[in-house]
A and B are shown apart, each in its own frame.
Chain A
Amino acid sequence: MIELFKQPNINWMGKAKYFYALSGILLLAGWTSIIVNGGLRYGIDFKGGTNVDVRFAQPPNVDKLRSGLVAQGLGNTEIQSISDISNPSSNEVLIFVEGKTQDDSDLDASRVKVLNALNATYGVASSNKPDFNAATPSSLAAFLSEKDPLFLSVNAGDRYQQLAKRILDYRDKVSSGVLTNFDDLSKVGSVTPPVLTAIKNNYALGPFAIRNVEIVGPKVGAELRSQAILVTLYALGGMLVYIAFRFEWVYGAAAVLAVFHDVLITLGFFSLLHFEISLTVIAALLTLVGYSMNDTIVIFDRIRENSRLLRKEPFADLVNKSINQTLSRTILTSGLTFLTVLVLFLMGGQVLRAFSFALVVGIVVGTYSSFGIAAPLVVAWNHWRGRGLAAGTGPAAGNKTSGSENVSGRLAPAGRR
């Protein structure tokens, strides 16, 4: 059999100082960055405003775009280009307009202004033909049915609807929403020369397409933000209660502290590398909470089991042994999961970028915190209670009659086996 570690014998608890120092440095760096930047960078979900995601046929001139926006009275906008490892020249930009007022018509107005600016700056002004890159399946189907370039007699409506859908699927899925040359459409099944000619004669090719519009009222943003924080705290509280019930409260507290530490460090990395916090990032943070908790419990479980078997062993040694015994599992699982999210981060496209970044950071930090933070905290607690000598009396915090029988009874709740 292939084995990563034969019999590891590492004194983890002896290195607790270094772990604390490392965590301290990471927390300090991240949160200094957060404070210097004036808080976390929230995505539109949490700050409100208007986001318009536009894809251009040619690389857009951002200065020209900005002056177009200013001409529409949108002085305070952020223009961010989106590129991708798999597609470095995606010609895509994200325009963000802050929404300061609660008035809904005003929010909608920003969208209209952005569209007007785009049309004025890049629009096909010379021709009055409709833009093919803005055509909807129903409008294209209606046009094809009227022209009837295939001279269909049976089920013409249905068949043109299917054809329209296929053509636009090509535009959206193969050329990512912006068609640059009508002739490309001939690759679509049953687009015959007459169909192509009909489309060419009727439509013009606009130089951009709107890929995504998000408008969130500022009140909603604030509400979502407080809700996300609350929900995370509730979930952590629920975990604390369960672990306290299954182990002891100090285990629950240590596990929750460790997970909290992971979330704080990940948020710090978000600030350092200028990623935005959105609702999907919250889902990723919750994933990381679950993952890190999982890792911690595996180690705690071993500690519980070992303290039944090795009552004479000093508690710190027992914890070391437990971590060493689960080490190959920890490395394997974390390594594989890390690989999964790394692939997602590299290949997942822009929508998944921030999401998978949270996981890439989170899995490393989450794995580290289970042996670097959670376990040392439990050991420190036991040491502080002056019971760090023998494992049997170790985790018996709050237990007045500290007989070892009693303790192991608590550590291995009755009825589990």
Chain B
Amino acid sequence: MNPNLKWRALSILLIILFCVYYLVGLPDFPKSFAQVKENFGHQIKLGLDLQGGTHLILQVQVQEAIAQETDQMVDRLTTELRAKNIHYDEVRRADDTHVLVRNIDPAQLSQFRDLVSAQYANVWDLTPTAGDPSGYTLTLRAAAIAQIKDSTMTQSLETIERRINALGLTEPTIQRRGGRNDNEILVQLPGEGDPTRAKAVIQAGGQLELRLVEDVRTYSSESEALAAHGGILPPGTELVPGRSETRNASGIQDTGVTWYVLSRAPVVTGRDLRSAIETRNTNNPGQFQVNFTLSPEAARRFGPFTETNKGRQMAIVLEHRVYSAPVINGRIDDSGLIEGNFSQESAHDLALVLRAGALPASIKYLEERTVGPSLGADSIRHGVQASVLSLVVVMLFMLVYYRFSGGNAVLALILNLIILLAVLALFGAVLTLPGIAGVILTIGMGVDSNVLVFERIREELRNGKSPGSAVDAGFDKAFVTIIDTHVTTVVSAFFLFLFGTGPIRGFAITLTIGLIANVFTAIYVSKTIFQYHLAKMDRQAELSI
């Protein structure tokens, strides 16, 4: 026999063995059929549509972070100008990316320009304001905006990841979506049937602040508070509403709002936390609270601060709401607690959010899909039953119609599927419903490739060629057609992958892998089998096709 043929047979065998091993031999070599099934389930990951679970797409409001940067710039600039004794009328935010400085003392204009260009030139672009000879406009540079966006996204992603991971769900996926949707984050929670809790945890801002209460009275409305101070609040203070709702058996209930006058500057923020944990409230059995400890650096500030403000109230503010405003009874160095009508679960989740850190910008939900486990199971059962049945019908037909050669085609089809699944597992790709569509098109094109070759061989035989040369000519002529059809489809799959999202990409990946595997099985493998068969059979015998 041709030694070349032996090598080809060997290489094919090795590839098959590797694929089968990769599909069912890992992580432990199977000793029973149940284990084979388990390994297979382990290697082939199902998408949420087949497995059940929750799929969320959320949008990070990056514009908020940009606006915040501009606000901070106003604060910094005001402080700097005061320190340098530069006179001006007003520094204010024009919009999210512009700061206006009005009416600078003409004698100090160059001093102002030097100050800005020395400190902020990388981030802010300084131009004279049109129509105001002594005014300037600072514009946030495009590069700086991109950088803020990027760091906001990275920080949001990390924070959400920490929060979700702390929930202890199985194999969550949290990833940034690319392309035009680059301010969106995809969260997938396989097997999670109720997204309410995960959503609450993700969306919690988690901004904790401890602030001094500047007015011992509380007010039932904003206007009442303003009236009590003669229409204008004391400098450096602001009005913050108290937590208005209480939780009881029937849900959330509004109990009216109280307003507090608080110092604008927080003493301690969420960044200063070292840990947070839920504990049982000893005074109110059945209720829970969150205890927190501060970092050593924050404790050094907090100690003296509580010492000097003994007897005054300290507000615990979370998400711009006052949770409680206890009186400082003595020096506190590094710990505190948040009370509120917490259940164990809500206290646990709050502690978790505090530990994971605050989000740099708020979150909006764009999409939420929850596939129940029974629906996913139904889809798999129906899909698998239908696929197996149709595969069997196709194979039987091939066997009847093409006899020996049909067996060849059946083998090629099975191999095609094995390679396709193994490569999917190798890439860690998940099998979704559109992915199954890709598999169906692959099977269709696999059948087609075989039929093309066989019909060609039959034609050549009819023209009086010997089996050997008919097989060679058949493969040769069909090869061009097969390459053309496959390349065309791969080209379109490439575009689908490039511009599509989620499900469409899954389809494109499965299809591409399937088609490449198909060229290998329908041409290389099938031809090797034919030649093997021809080498063995009698020269005068007819080819069974």
**A and B bind:** yes
Answer whether residue B159 sits at the interface, using C-beta atoms and an 8 A cutoff: no
Q: Name the residue of chain A whose CB is nearest to the CB of B370.
A: A213
With A231-B496, A234-B499 given, is the CB distance from A340 to B459 under 8 Å?
Answer: no
Answer whether residue A404 sits at the interface, using C-beta atoms and an 8 A cutoff: no
Q: Using an 8 Å CB-CB cutoff, how does the interface string of B467-499 with A read, 1 for contact, 0 for none?
A: 000000000110011001101110111111011
Answer whether residue B127 sits at the interface, using C-beta atoms and an 8 A cutoff: no
- Report chain B residues within 8 Å CB of A293: 485, 488-489, 492
Answer whether residue B393 sits at the interface, using C-beta atoms and an 8 A cutoff: yes
- Report chain A residues within 8 Å CB of B9: none
Residue contact B374 to A173, C-beta cutoff 8 Å: yes
Cβ-neighbour of A286 out of B476, B494, B504 (below 8 A): B504
With A239-B491, A297-B481 given, is the CB distance from A344 to B365 under 8 Å?
Answer: no
Q: Using an 8 Å CB-CB cutoff, how does the interface string of B379-395 with A read, 1 for contact, 0 for none?
A: 10111011101110110
Say which one of B26-34, B313-321, B440-448 lies at the interface with A. B440-448
C-alpha gap A416/B487 in the complex (Å)? 14
Residue contact A352 to B485, C-beta cutoff 8 Å: no
Residue contact B458 to A279, C-beta cutoff 8 Å: no
The number of residues on chain B lying at the interface, defined by a beta carbon within 8 Å of a beta carbon of chain A, is 78
- Report chain A residues within 8 Å CB of B480: 301, 305, 416
- Report chain B residues within 8 Å CB of A336: 393-394, 397, 444, 447
- Report chain B residues within 8 Å CB of A273: none
With A107-B365, A209-B374, A213-B369 given, is the CB distance from A297 to B455 under 8 Å?
Answer: no
Residue contact A340 to B374, C-beta cutoff 8 Å: no
Say which one of A69-77, A197-205, A216-224, A312-320 lies at the interface with B. A216-224
- Report chain B residues within 8 Å CB of A212: 369-372, 375
Q: How far is the CB of A123 from chain B (nearest CB, A)?
A: 14
Answer whether residue A347 sits at the interface, using C-beta atoms and an 8 A cutoff: yes
Residue contact A352 to B379, C-beta cutoff 8 Å: yes
Q: How many A-B residue pairs have CB under 8 A?
A: 243
Cβ-neighbour of A339 out of B390, B476, B487 (below 8 A): B390
Answer whether residue B294 sits at the interface, using C-beta atoms and an 8 A cutoff: no
Could you tell me which residues of chain A, from 224 to 256, have a CB within 8 Å of some CB in chain B?
224, 227-228, 230-231, 234-239, 241-243, 246
Residue contact A349 to B492, C-beta cutoff 8 Å: no
Residue contact B382 to A352, C-beta cutoff 8 Å: yes
Answer whether residue B288 sits at the interface, using C-beta atoms and an 8 A cutoff: no
Answer whether residue B100 sits at the interface, using C-beta atoms and an 8 A cutoff: no
Q: How far is the CB of B441 from chain A (nearest CB, A)?
A: 5
Could you tell me which residues of chain A, from 152 to 177, have a CB within 8 Å of some CB in chain B?
168, 171-173, 176-177
Q: Which of B370, B383, B488, B545 has the most CB of A within 10 A?
A: B488
Answer whether residue A149 sits at the interface, using C-beta atoms and an 8 A cutoff: no
Answer whether residue B194 sits at the interface, using C-beta atoms and an 8 A cutoff: yes
Residue contact B451 to A287, C-beta cutoff 8 Å: no
Answer whether residue A390 sits at the interface, using C-beta atoms and an 8 A cutoff: no
- Report chain A residues within 8 Å CB of B394: 336, 339-340
Q: Name the residue of chain A whose CB is nearest to the CB of B452.
A: A329
C-alpha gap A285/B489 in the complex (Å)? 13
Answer whether residue B500 sits at the interface, using C-beta atoms and an 8 A cutoff: yes
Answer whether residue B14 sits at the interface, using C-beta atoms and an 8 A cutoff: no
Cβ-neighbour of A352 out of B57, B194, B383 (below 8 A): B383
- Report chain A residues within 8 Å CB of B377: 172-173
- Report chain B residues within 8 Å CB of A107: 365, 368
Q: Name the residue of chain B whose CB is nearest to the CB of A53.
A: B375
With A212-B372, A246-B484, A283-B504 given, is the CB distance from A231 to B495 under 8 Å?
Answer: yes
Answer whether residue A282 sits at the interface, using C-beta atoms and an 8 A cutoff: yes
Answer whether residue A119 sits at the interface, using C-beta atoms and an 8 A cutoff: no
C-alpha gap A289/B487 in the complex (Å)? 14
Q: How far is the CB of B544 from chain A (nearest CB, A)?
A: 8
Q: Name the residue of chain A whose CB is nearest to the CB of B388.
A: A343
- Report chain A residues within 8 Å CB of B400: 2
Residue contact B194 to A136, C-beta cutoff 8 Å: yes
C-alpha gap A417/B52 in the complex (Å)? 50
- Report chain B residues within 8 Å CB of A86: 382
C-alpha gap A333/B447 in the complex (Å)? 7
Cβ-neighbour of B393 out of A220, A297, A339, A346 (below 8 A): A339
Residue contact B441 to A290, C-beta cutoff 8 Å: yes
Residue contact A214 to B369, C-beta cutoff 8 Å: yes
Cβ-neighbour of B507 out of A217, A283, A291, A344 (below 8 A): A283
Answer whether residue B120 sits at the interface, using C-beta atoms and an 8 A cutoff: no
Answer whether residue A215 sits at the interface, using C-beta atoms and an 8 A cutoff: yes
Q: How far is the CB of B274 from chain A (nearest CB, A)?
A: 30
Answer whether residue A337 sits at the interface, using C-beta atoms and an 8 A cutoff: yes
With A136-B194, A280-B503, A355-B437 given, is the CB distance from A177 to B374 under 8 Å?
Answer: yes
- Report chain A residues within 8 Å CB of B500: 227, 231
- Report chain A residues within 8 Å CB of B458: 1, 3
Residue contact A348 to B489, C-beta cutoff 8 Å: no
Q: Name the residue of chain A whose CB is nearest to the CB of B484.
A: A297
Residue contact A286 to B507, C-beta cutoff 8 Å: yes
Q: How far is the CB of A226 from chain B (nearest CB, A)?
A: 11
Q: How far is the CB of B498 from chain A (nearest CB, A)?
A: 8
Residue contact B382 to A347, C-beta cutoff 8 Å: yes
Answer whether residue B533 sits at the interface, using C-beta atoms and an 8 A cutoff: no
With A172-B373, A213-B369, A297-B484 given, is the CB distance from A235 to B386 under 8 Å?
Answer: no
With A231-B495, A290-B441, A339-B390 given, is the CB distance from A328 to B455 under 8 Å?
Answer: yes
Q: How far is the CB of A311 from chain B (nearest CB, A)?
A: 19
C-alpha gap A173/B377 in the complex (Å)? 6
Residue contact A216 to B367, C-beta cutoff 8 Å: yes
Q: Name the residue of chain B whose CB is nearest to the CB of A300.
A: B484
With A108-B365, A284-B437 given, is the CB distance from A242 to B375 under 8 Å?
Answer: no
The 27 listed contacts between A and B (C-beta, < 8 Å) are A2-B401, A55-B374, A173-B377, A177-B374, A212-B371, A213-B368, A215-B369, A216-B366, A217-B367, A231-B504, A235-B495, A235-B496, A236-B492, A282-B503, A286-B492, A287-B507, A298-B485, A337-B443, A337-B447, A339-B394, A340-B390, A340-B444, A343-B386, A344-B387, A351-B433, A352-B383, A359-B437
Given A211-B374, A235-B496, A287-B437, 6 extra CB contacts under 8 A: A1-B403, A216-B368, A280-B503, A333-B451, A336-B397, A352-B386
